[in-house]
């Protein structure tokens, strides 16, 4: 993908081999009139902005070491179980 196109790439999530790949163009992480809670702003340095956002995704938010990203995966896992994923065998229900 050409660099000028990659920076505008919409959020994309896919499974490749044994990995989940999440990608988004940095310019998609801007504030705009369509987002109800984020102020409008202009990105001055795309690379630094991407690094700042990734740092926040990975920053520990609880004493247990949770991050915004790990919380999102936990919610997605629970939802997949509740939706009846046939890809797993539930060994012990902790609810």
* pTM for the full predicted model: 0.76
HEC sequence for 22-74: EECCHHHHCCCCCCCCCCCCCCCCHHHHHHHHHHHHHCECCCCCCEHHHHHHH
CA angle 16/10/29 to nearest 5° reads 115
Task: Identify the pLDDT of residue 43.
Answer: 85
Task: Give the tokens for residue 64.
Answer: 């247990």
Give the pLDDT of the chain (95 residues) as one tens digit per residue. 566 678 888 899 999 999 999 999 888 887 666 677 878 788 889 899 999 999 999 999 999 999 999 999 999 999 999 999 999 998 887 76
Tens of pLDDT, residue by residue over 69-80, are 999 999 999 999
Q: Which long-range contacts (CB under 8 A, 24 or more apart) does 85-88 make?
A: none
Tell me which H or E stretch contains 13. Answer: strand 12-16
């Amino acid at each position: 993908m050409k660099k000028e196109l990659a920076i505008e790439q919409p959020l994309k999530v896919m499974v490749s081999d044994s990995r989940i790949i999440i990608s988004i163009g940095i310019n998609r992480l801007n504030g705009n009139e369509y987002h109800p809670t984020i102020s409008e702003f202009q990105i001055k340095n795309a690379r630094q902005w991407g690094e700042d956002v990734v740092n926040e995704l990975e920053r520990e938010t609880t004493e247990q070491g949770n991050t915004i990203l790990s919380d999102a995966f936990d919610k997605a896992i629970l939802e997949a179980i509740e939706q009846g994923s046939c890809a797993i065998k539930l060994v012990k229900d902790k609810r």
